[in-house]
Every structure is written in structure tokens, then in C-alpha cells.
């Protein structure tokens, strides 16, 4: 009996000591983008099975993730958009953006018999500006002459929360439409002229599924996973491109800056999908913050390295595109800059 | 308020009522509509969201089942995406529902759904974990035993939620119907009230217009039936009021005209009676002169026969009384000869004061209020005294139990307005003499007859009924006016107006001459057509020592003068009106031959008639018939001594 109590005491002491006694008890916490969430879900459960490290990832939207990393509440944030200047200022300390994969924002819609539709950039802009309000609008039928479109009102479904997906779409529309640029602009949280809103990528996908005549935008995997119809979008070279791993990969065939902060939308690539983007994990360069242990920082760096290498095999099954080699090299270089108390964490 | 304004206001009010009615009705309907619409939208949204949850839960359940049943890794991956999507969809719908749901039952259902969802999520993770670790049997068992009932439960909750929300729709529909009914009732009540108000307003408006008109009609009818009393009440300021006021004014004017008419009738009556009385008086005068004269002469020759003397004295007394009566009648009929002078009424009153004191009784207080700077008047002072005396006596008799008597003089201006209400008055400067008492007063009827001769309210034998008649005659003859104000029980005041006359007041000589009669020897030519009067007159004059030549008319008189070659005649005593030649003509002829000739006219006629004969000039001597031997002697002596 006394021995039993003694054992419990030892355990209790170990727990309250707080120092991770082994890798298995270590946890990492991240939050942010819903755009790559299915991928991260796979990656992190695989990583846990492999290395025993539990990674808590909360898919709350890019803005929320950024907000939390800026408050230094989490180990990493996930975002489909680079930090903005004001956000960088709020961070006060240097951060690094580690690209994890390529994804596509796809236009999904819910129409009777779900005909395959094509969209031109200005058509998209005008639909999302609320200027085109019927599916039977001549401007839609003009590019979809083979389809019979119902005389139905268009219900816009957009994101309620601050979102990287929204950023990618609005950044693209700002590139292709002057009116959009002037009236709405680029951002994670927009003032939509009309339409209904839902939280997160799956929320938009779910709502579009529920409303006949709805149109929305989600990451490709959500469209595929929920059997939603996607539109083909005419790219810069005038071709209507179906979103997919190939067209996304083609869009990323371009030289990258050192920090990998590049916009891939409206790609000049012939067969490139115009709504393509990297998605990133955001970590502080100096990992000694908020009382974190060196071991935590080491585990984080290890995880990041794994994601850009072994983890890439999870991308294709979920229809994300793996990082191009150049991106992997740039990411490696970035990971290597991460320090703990000024000491490099990667040899 | 003008009728037009009233109508406009009234109709505007009615329109306002109607507008309020319409607006309140519309507002009520709109409220119901909004409520219904809002309720329907809200409940439909809730039902929709509940259905979304049910569908998504079903999708999630199906996806889990697919993951268990398929060996295909790719399919499993997308099914997981499906589960993520469904979970988020349910989360969104729940969040939405929570923000909309307000009933406690709905909240309880939502809470339960939430609990089941999070439980389901955890279960699904466990199942997927088991599947991925190739513990398929465990996964299936877990699904069947733990997750499946939870999924069914969630489904049931959602169904319950939908049913509940449908009930809510029914209820809000019923509520809306209830509100509709209430609004309808309220609208009805407001409508009826507004209509009632409008009706009342119309009735009030109509009444306010018609009732003064009806009053006007009643008033006119009353006037037509002979009741001329004007309306005393206030008139409204609208058109109807103006009409009524005009009618009232007209009736007042009619009253004034009637009053003037009455005055005229009265004046004419007095005039006629006066003419009659005057005519009688003239003949009586001659007769009385004779009776008086001869009884006087007879008396002188009685010589100790006491019984005869007594009889003659009685005759004399009666003739004197009759003489007084005729004099008064003449005065009333304005036919007596007035000796006009410029008189200061204040001085006259001062002279009279003592005598007046003797006339009234001790229980009467007399007060004379003379005006400062009182204007002069052109009157016969002797007659004026008579006027005042008569009025004072009248006042005394009106105050049997004593009182106050005021004699007041004032300067007065008679204007147009005064003349409108006082028949015969002419605008100008006047002197007013007022005699007021605090006596019994006169009724309207008595007032009307007050100036009629032989009308008296006194006991038989106490008054002659000629006092006020005399006053009236003298005043009129002097060019003045007299009006009576009297109220029964309060007193009477007589207002006499005399035209103002500029000039120095003449010295007052009282009628009673105290000079002694002397025995004379002058020659008098007596011309009188009435033989009895002539004989009497000559007898009296001879008795006083005069040498008298008699003629019955003017021609005879001239012949007499020629025949007797009368060189010297001191006085011509002639009747004014005679056949063949008037006294005036005769006097003129004789004066042409005898410039020093004095003339004394005598007549039973009055001023008017005499004036036609051109006699009544200021310095003409005149003796009114009937005269007493004494008054004849005195007058003759006065004329000769001038």
C-alpha cells in the first residue's frame, strides 16, 4: 500500500515537474488555415504514429492562426497568405514562412444536374461583385453555350472569418478586375456587397451543398471530397483550366524569392491554374519565447523538415500539389535559420 | 368665428379623422404583415438550418460507414474530408440556430444536439483511428454499439427540432391572426369613434350655423306680431350674428320712429286741444270782461244793500275765477301775449326763492343749483315765474310724504343725436332748466297725458288739470322744449330747454305794480266793436276822470275825429281785430296826423292772430282781455306816463 502511494507520488512529481521526460509526452500546438487542413490532419496523424509526437492543429482560419501566433500562444500558425506589414509589426520579432504544399482555390456551385461551367476572370469578378445575379445571365451563357442554365438567382456563399482562401481569391480578382480592385480589394476579411457567409472552408462547402443556385470558393480537396462541381477558369493565356494537381503544379513553375513569399495567381503558365497558391506554416525565427523549452523548438524544426520532405507524399492523394524542388530547397534554407537562444537548431 | 372659417376647420378636422383612421389601419396591417413575415422567415431559417444539421449528420454517418467498409485509401481520405465538411456545416448551422433560437425548449434541443455532435465527432475519430490501425472489428463494434445510436439520436433531435419549429410557425401564425383580430377590433373602434366625432362635429357645425338664424326668424316673427322689444343678449361674431345685430338695430330704429310718432301725435293732440281752448277763451274773455266790469260798476252803486253787495261780489269772484281759467287756457294754447325780455334765469330764480318756500311744505327740501355763466334766454319773465311755480307745485303734490326738490339750471348744447330722439328740437345752444322731485313718479300712460288740459291725477277739486298744460303752452310759445323723465316710485324731472340769447339781461319788474292810480283828465279814443265791452271800458275810464270818445270800428273812429275836429287825443285804446279796419291800420292813420298819439291795443285773441296784424313789436302796449277795471286803469296810466 505504502509502496503504491510512493509510486503515485513519483508519478505526480514527474508530472508537476513539467519537463518533458520523453518525446512521447511532448506536444506541439498549431492553428490557422482550413485550406490545407485535410492534408495537415493526415500529416500530423501519420507523424504521431511514426514519431509519437502529438500535434494539435486547430483549423480556425488563417486570420485566427496568425492572431494566435502573434500572441505567442502557439508553436506555429498556418496561413495561405504571407503576413501583412501591420501583422509583421505586431509580431515585433522575425518570423519565417515555411511552404508546405500547393493548393487551388476552386469555384464550386450547386445547380440542378450540375453542368460543367466555365468562367472568365471578369465574369467571376462581376458574379462576386453581385453584378450578375442570375444563372441565366447572357454573360454566363455566352461562355457556356452548350449548357442550359436555369433562371435561378445566384446566391453567393463567402467566408465569414478571416481567411487565406478569401485572400487568394481576392488577390486574384484584384489582379484581373479593376472594379474589384477599387471596390473590394485584397484581404483575408472582405466587405462583401451581397451573399451569405459561412465559417471556414468546410462551412462554405457545406452551405453551397445546401443551397440550390449557390456559388462559393473552397480549396480543391473540399470540392472533391464532397463531390461538388467545380468551374473551369480561363487563365492568362486564354485557356479554360480545370483545377488539379497538374495545373496547380504548372502554375508554380516559377522562380521563388528566398522567403518563398510569392503570388502564384493569374499565372502566365500556359496550362497553369490561375487560382493557385502556396500555403505556409509560420514560426518565429527565435524559438525562445513564452517559456518554451529547447526540446519543443527542436521537435518543431524536426516536424517542419519532415513536412517538406517525407510529408509531401500525403499531398497528391488529397489533390494538393507537392512543393517543387526549388521550394523545398528554399524551405530547407529557411528552416536552418531557426534558432533557440541564438543557437542554430538544425545542424 | 366666421361661418366659412368654421366650415373649413370642421371639414379639415373630419378629413384629419379619416386620415388618422386610414393611417392607423395601414400601420396595423403593416405590423401584422411584418410580424408574419418576420416569423415565417425566422422559423423557415430555423427549419432549414435544422434540416442542414440532419443532412450533414447523415452525410457524416455515411462517410464513417464508408471508411469502415472500404479498403481504398483514397476513398477513405476524401470521406474524411466529407466528415470535416459535415462537421463544420453542422457547427455553422448550430451556431446560427443558437443565435436565432429564443425559446427554452429550442435551446434545450440545440444543447442536446451539440452534445451529441461533439460526442459523435470523438467517436468517429476513434472509429477512424481503429480502422487506420487495422482494428476493423473493433471499429465496427464501436460504430454499431456506440456511434450508431448517437447518430440516430441526433437525427431524432433534428427531426424534433424541425417539428418544434413547425409548431412555432403555427403558433406565430395563430398569434398573428390574434393580433389581426385585435387590430381589426381596434380599427373598428377607432373607426366608429372617428365617425361619431365627425357626426358630432357636423351636427355642432350645422347647429352653430342654423340656430342663430332660427333665433333671427323667431325675433322677426315676434316683431311682426307687434313686440318691438330688442334683443338684449350677446351676438356671435359670425355672419349670422351680424345679421341678428342688423335686425336688432333695425328694430331699435323702428322703436325710435314709433317714439317720435307718439311725440308727434301728442304734440298734434295738444295743438288741436289748444286751438279749441283758445277759440273758446277769446269769446269768454269778452264776456268775462263785461261780467266783471259791470259787476264792478254795479258794486259801486250798491249803497248799503248788503245782500245785493254779497251777490255781486260772488258774481265778481266767479268771473275772476273764470278769467283765470281762460287765461290758463290761453297760455296753454299759446295764444297769450308775451312780454319778451332777455332774462337771466338764475336771477329770476333768486327772486322767486322766497315765494317758492312759501308754496312747498316743511317736509320738502328745496335746493336751487344755479349754473355758473348761465346763458340768457328770451322769455316773458312773468310767465317764466308761472312756469316755475306750476312745476314746483306739481312736484310738491308728487311728494305727499316729503322729499327733495331740485331746481337746476345749466347751459346745454342740443346736438343732432338729441334732435333725432326729440321731436321738433333744433340743434344749437340752449339753457336748460330742470325741476326734479323724488316723488311718486308717473306711469307711461300718465306721462303721455301729463300736458293735456284738465287731465289730473289729483283728487277732484284739488287741481284744475291746467298747471302742466300752462307750462307746456308757455314753453312752446317761448320757443323752448319740454320733456319729462319719470320713473314710478323714484321721481320725476322736467327738463325745459330755451334757446340761448346773447345780450344784457333786462331789469326784472314784477307784475304787481304798486303805483297808485291817479285821477286823470287825458283824452282817450276808444275803438271796440263789441258794444258791451266798449260801454264797460268807457265807463271805467270815465270813472278815472278820462275824457272818452267811443267808436265801434276804425272808420267810425276816423269820422269821429274829423266830425269833432279833435285836435288832441292822448291815447288810442283799440281792439286789434275789428271789421272794416284793423286796430293797427287805424293807429297808423291817426299817428300820421297826431304823431304824439299813444296807442294801447287790446284783444281777446292771442299773439299769433295779433302778430298777423303787425302789432306785436317790442314797444307796443297791449292789454289782454279779459281785463279787470283795475288792470285797465293801470295799463292806461302806464302807457300815458311813459
Predicted pLDDT of residue A16: 43
* Dist. CA B155–CA B166, nearest whole Å: 16
Q: Residue A151 falls within a domain, yes or no?
A: yes
**Residues A43, A191: one domain?**
no
- CA proximity to A101, closest of A223, A248, A259, A271: A248
Q: Residue A327 falls within a domain, yes or no?
A: yes
| Cβ within 8 Å of residue B283, ≥6 positions away | B604
* Torsion sign over Cα A68, A72, A77, A83: positive
Range of the domain at A192: 104-276
Q: How many CB atoms lie within 10 A of CB A211?
A: 17
ipTM of this complex = 0.83
* Dist. CA A331–CA A258, nearest whole Å: 8
DSSP secondary structure letter of residue A318: G
Q: Does A221 sit within 8 Å of B88, measured CB to CB?
A: no
Q: Residue A4 falls within a domain, yes or no?
A: no
Q: Does A201 sit within 8 Å of B77, measured CB to CB?
A: no
Q: Where residue A98 falls among pLDDT bands split at 50, 70, 90?
A: very high
Quick one: cell of A171?
488577390
Q: Does B78 sit within 8 Å of A210, measured CB to CB?
A: no
| Cβ within 8 Å of residue A209, ≥6 positions away | A110, A226, A228, B85, B89
Of A276, A301, A318, the domain-final residue: A276
Q: Does A201 sit within 8 Å of B92, measured CB to CB?
A: no
**Residues A51, A108: one domain?**
no
Q: Residue A60 falls within a domain, yes or no?
A: yes
Q: A39: which chain B residues are within 8 Å (Cβ-Cβ)? A: none
Predicted pLDDT of residue B510: 47
Cα B252-B257-B261 angle, rounded to 5 deg = 145
Q: B55: which chain A residues are within 8 Å (Cβ-Cβ)? A: 210
Q: Residue A182 falls within a domain, yes or no?
A: yes
pLDDT beyond 50 at A11: no
Query: Number of structural domains, chain A?
Result: 2
Give the minimum alpha-carbon distance from A59 to chain B in angstroms, rounded to a whole number. Answer: 10
Predicted pLDDT of residue A120: 95
DSSP secondary structure letter of residue A153: B
Q: Where residue A312 falls among pLDDT bands split at 50, 70, 90?
A: very high
Q: Is A50 on the interface with B (CB under 8 A)?
A: no
Cα B395-B400-B403 angle, rounded to 5 deg = 65
Of A276, A307, A332, the domain-final residue: A276
**Residues A189, A91: one domain?**
no
**Residues A133, A227: one domain?**
yes
Q: Is A224 on the interface with B (CB under 8 A)?
A: yes
Predicted pLDDT of residue A150: 92
- Name which of A226, A317, A318 to mutate to probe chain B: the one with the most chain B Cβ atoms within 10 A of its Cβ: A226
**Residues A159, A220: one domain?**
yes
Taking CA atoms, what residue in A is nearest to B77? A318
Q: What is the pLDDT of residues A184-196, one digit of tens each?
A: 999 999 988 788 8
**Residues A116, A240: one domain?**
yes
Q: A42: which chain B residues are within 8 Å (Cβ-Cβ)? A: 77, 80
Torsion (CA) B85, B91, B95, B96 in degrees, nearest 10: 40
Give the minimum alpha-carbon distance from B78 to chain A in angstroms, rounded to a whole number. Answer: 4
**Residues A117, A224: one domain?**
yes
DSSP secondary structure letter of residue A238: S
pLDDT beyond 50 at A342: yes
Q: Residue A178 falls within a domain, yes or no?
A: yes
* Torsion sign over Cα B545, B550, B553, B554: negative
* Torsion sign over Cα A115, A120, A125, A126: negative
Taking CA atoms, what residue in B is nearest to A201? B85
Give the minimum alpha-carbon distance from B29 to chain A in angstroms, rounded to a whole number. Answer: 30
Residues of B with CB under 8 A from a CB of A: 48, 52, 55-56, 73-74, 77-82, 84-92, 95, 129, 132
**Residues A186, A260: one domain?**
yes
Decide if B392 contacts B492 (C-beta within 8 A). no
Q: Residue A221 falls within a domain, yes or no?
A: yes
Q: Is A37 on the interface with B (CB under 8 A)?
A: yes
Q: Give the containing element (helix H, strand E) for B576.
A: none
**Residues A198, A259: one domain?**
yes
Taking CA atoms, what residue in B is nearest to A219? B81
* Dist. CA A245–CA A221, nearest whole Å: 10
Q: What is the pLDDT of residues A195-237, one digit of tens each?
A: 888 999 999 999 999 899 999 999 999 999 999 999 999 999 9
DSSP conformation letters of B152-181: HHHHHHHHHHHHHHHHHHHHHHHHHHHHHH
Q: Does B89 sit within 8 Å of A209, measured CB to CB?
A: yes
What mean pLDDT is predicted for residues A310-319? 93
Q: Residue A122 falls within a domain, yes or no?
A: yes
**Residues A129, A92: one domain?**
no
Q: Does B84 sit within 8 Å of A225, measured CB to CB?
A: yes
- CA proximity to B35, closest of B134, B183, B159: B183
Share of chain A above pLDDT 90, in %: 80
Query: B19-27 — which CB contacts under 8 Å span 24+ positions?
Result: B20/B190, B20/B194, B21/B187, B21/B190, B21/B191, B21/B194, B24/B186, B24/B187, B24/B190, B25/B187, B25/B191
Of A243, A276, A309, the domain-final residue: A276
| Cβ within 8 Å of residue B566, ≥6 positions away | B523, B525, B549, B560
Q: Is A141 on the interface with B (CB under 8 A)?
A: no
Name the stretches of chain B with pLDDT < 50.
510-514
**Residues A246, A290: one domain?**
no
Predicted pLDDT of residue B201: 84
Specify the CATH number for the domain of residue A62.
3.40.190.10
**Residues A135, A270: one domain?**
yes
Amino acid at each position: 500500500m505504502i509502496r503504491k502511494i510512493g509510486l503515485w507520488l513519483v508519478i505526480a512529481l514527474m508530472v508537476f515537474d513539467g519537463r518533458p521526460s520523453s518525446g512521447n509526452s511532448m506536444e506541439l500546438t498549431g492553428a490557422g488555415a482550413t485550406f490545407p487542413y485535410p492534408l495537415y490532419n493526415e500529416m500530423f496523424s501519420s507523424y504521431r504514429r511514426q514519431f509519437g509526437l502529438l500535434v494539435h492543429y486547430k483549423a480556425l482560419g488563417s486570420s485566427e492562426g496568425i492572431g494566435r501566433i502573434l500572441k505567442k500562444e502557439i508553436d506555429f500558425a498556418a496561413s495561405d497568405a504571407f503576413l501583412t506589414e501591420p501583422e509583421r509589426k505586431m509580431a515585433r520579432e522575425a518570423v519565417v514562412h515555411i511552404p508546405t504544399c500547393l493548393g487551388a482555390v476552386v469555384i464550386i456551385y450547386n445547380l440542378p444536374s450540375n453542368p460543367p461551367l466555365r468562367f472568365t476572370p471578369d465574369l467571376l469578378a462581376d458574379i462576386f461583385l453581385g453584378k450578375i445575379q442570375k444563372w441565366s445571365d447572357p454573360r454566363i451563357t455566352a461562355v457556356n453555350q452548350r449548357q442550359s442554365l436555369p433562371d435561378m438567382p445566384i446566391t453567393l456563399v463567402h467566408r465569414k472569418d478571416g481567411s487565406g482562401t478569401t485572400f487568394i481569391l481576392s488577390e486574384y480578382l484584384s489582379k484581373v478586375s479593376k472594379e474589384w480592385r477599387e471596390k473590394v480589394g485584397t484581404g483575408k476579411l472582405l466587405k462583401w456587397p451581397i451573399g451569405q457567409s459561412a465559417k471556414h472552408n468546410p462551412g462554405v462547402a457545406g452551405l453551397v451543398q445546401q443551397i440550390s443556385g449557390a456559388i462559393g470558393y473552397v480549396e480543391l480537396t473540399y470540392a472533391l471530397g464532397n463531390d461538388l462541381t467545380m468551374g473551369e477558369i480561363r487563365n492568362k493565356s486564354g485557356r479554360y483550366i480545370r483545377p488539379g494537381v497538374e495545373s496547380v503544379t504548372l502554375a508554380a513553375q516559377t522562380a521563388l524569392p528566398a522567403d518563398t513569399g510569392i503570388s502564384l495567381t493569374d499565372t502566365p503558365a500556359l496550362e497553369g491554374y490561375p487560382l493557385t497558391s502556396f500555403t505556409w506554416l509560420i514560426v518565429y525565427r527565435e524559438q525562445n519565447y513564452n517559456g518554451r523549452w529547447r526540446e519543443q523548438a527542436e521537435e518543431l524544426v524536426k516536424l517542419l523538415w519532415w513536412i517538406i520532405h517525407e510529408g509531401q507524399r500525403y499531398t497528391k492523394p488529397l489533390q494538393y500539389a507537392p512543393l517543387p524542388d526549388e521550394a523545398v530547397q528554399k524551405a530547407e534554407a529557411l528552416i536552418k535559420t531557426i534558432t533557440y537562444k541564438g543557437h542554430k537548431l538544425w545542424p | 368665428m366666421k361661418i366659412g372659417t368654421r366650415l373649413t376647420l370642421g371639414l379639415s378636422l373630419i378629413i384629419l379623422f379619416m386620415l388618422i383612421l386610414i393611417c392607423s389601419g395601414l400601420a396595423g396591417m403593416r405590423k401584422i404583415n411584418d410580424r408574419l413575415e418576420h416569423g415565417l422567415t425566422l422559423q423557415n431559417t430555423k427549419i432549414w438550418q435544422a434540416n442542414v444539421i440532419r443532412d450533414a449528420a447523415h452525410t457524416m454517418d455515411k462517410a464513417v460507414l464508408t471508411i469502415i467498409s472500404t479498403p481504398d485509401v483514397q476513398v477513405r481520405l476524401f470521406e474524411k474530408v466529407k466528415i470535416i465538411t459535415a462537421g463544420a456545416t453542422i457547427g455553422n448551422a448550430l451556431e446560427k440556430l443558437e443565435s436565432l433560437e429564443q425559446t427554452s425548449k429550442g435551446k434545450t434541443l440545440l444543447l442536446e444536439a451539440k452534445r451529441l455532435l461533439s460526442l459523435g465527432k470523438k467517436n468517429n475519430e476513434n472509429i477512424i483511428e481503429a480502422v487506420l490501425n487495422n482494428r476493423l472489428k473493433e471499429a465496427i463494434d464501436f460504430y454499431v454499439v456506440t456511434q450508431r445510436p448517437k447518430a440516430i439520436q441526433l437525427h431524432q433531435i433534428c427531426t424534433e427540432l424541425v417539428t418544434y419549429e413547425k409548431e412555432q410557425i403555427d403558433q406565430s401564425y395563430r398569434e398573428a391572426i390574434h393580433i389581426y383580430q385585435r387590430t381589426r377590433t381596434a380599427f373598428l373602434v377607432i373607426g366608429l369613434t372617428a365617425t361619431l366625432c365627425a357626426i358630432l362635429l357636423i351636427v355642432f357645425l350645422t347647429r352653430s350655423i342654423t340656430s342663430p338664424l332660427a333665433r333671427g326668424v323667431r325675433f322677426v316673427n315676434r316683431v311682426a306680431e307687434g313686440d318691438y322689444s330688442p334683443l338684449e343678449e350677446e351676438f356671435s361674431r359670425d355672419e349670422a350674428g351680424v345679421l341678428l345685430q342688423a335686425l336688432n338695430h333695425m328694430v331699435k330704429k323702428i322703436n325710435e320712429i314709433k317714439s317720435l310718432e307718439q311725440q308727434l301725435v301728442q304734440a298734434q293732440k295738444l295743438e288741436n286741444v289748444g286751438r279749441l281752448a283758445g277759440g273758446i277763451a277769446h269769446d269768454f274773455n269778452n264776456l268775462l270782461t263785461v261780467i266783471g266790469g259791470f259787476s264792478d260798476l254795479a258794486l259801486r252803486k250798491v249803497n248799503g244793500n248788503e245782500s245785493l253787495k254779497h251777490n255781486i261780489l260772488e258774481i265778481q269772484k266767479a268771473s275772476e275765477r273764470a278769467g283765470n281759467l281762460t287765461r290758463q287756457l290761453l297760455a296753454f294754447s299759446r295764444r297769450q301775449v308775451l312780454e319778451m325780455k332777455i332774462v337771466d334765469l338764475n336771477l329770476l330764480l333768486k327772486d322767486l326763492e322766497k315765494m317758492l318756500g312759501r308754496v312747498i311744505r316743511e317736509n320738502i327740501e328745496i335746493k336751487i343749483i344755479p349754473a355758473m355763466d348761465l346763458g340768457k334766454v328770451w322769455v316773458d319773465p312773468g310767465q317764466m315765474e308761472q312756469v316755475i311755480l306750476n312745476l314746483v307745485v306739481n312736484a310738491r303734490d308728487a311728494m305727499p310724504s316729503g322729499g327733495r326738490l331740485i331746481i337746476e339750471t345749466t347751459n346745454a348744447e342740443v346736438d343732432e343725436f338729441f334732435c333725432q330722439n326729440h321731436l321738433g328740437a333744433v340743434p344749437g345752444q340752449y339753457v336748460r332748466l330742470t325741476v326734479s322731485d323724488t316723488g311718486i313718479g308717473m306711469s307711461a300712460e300718465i306721462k303721455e297725458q301729463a300736458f293735456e288740459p284738465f287731465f289730473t291725477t289729483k283728487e277732484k277739486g284739488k287741481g284744475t288739470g291746467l298747471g302742466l298744460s300752462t307750462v307746456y303752452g308757455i314753453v312752446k310759445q317761448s320757443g323752448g322744449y319740454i320733456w319729462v323723465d319719470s320713473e314710478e316710485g323714484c321721481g320725476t324731472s322736467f327738463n325745459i330747454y330755451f334757446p340761448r340769447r346773447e345780450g344784457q339781461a333786462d331789469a326784472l319788474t314784477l307784475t304787481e305794480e304798486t303805483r297808485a292810480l291817479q285821477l286823470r283828465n287825458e283824452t282817450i279814443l276808444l275803438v271796440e266793436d263789441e258794444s258791451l265791452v266798449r260801454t264797460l271800458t268807457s265807463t271805467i275810464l270815465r270813472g278815472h276822470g278820462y275824457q272818452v270818445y267811443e267808436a265801434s270800428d276804425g272808420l267810425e273812429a276816423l269820422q269821429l275825429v274829423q266830425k269833432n275836429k279833435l285836435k288832441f287825443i292822448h291815447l288810442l285804446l283799440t281792439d286789434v281785430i275789428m271789421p272794416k279796419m284793423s286796430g293797427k291800420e287805424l293807429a297808423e292813420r291817426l299817428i300820421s296826423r297826431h304823431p304824439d298819439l299813444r296807442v294801447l291795443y287790446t284783444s281777446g285773441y292771442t299773439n299769433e292772430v295779433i302778430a298777423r296784424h303787425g302789432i306785436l313789436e317790442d314797444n307796443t302796449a297791449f292789454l289782454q282781455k279779459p281785463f279787470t277795471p283795475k288792470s285797465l286803469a293801470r295799463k292806461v296810466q302806464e302807457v300815458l306816463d311813459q
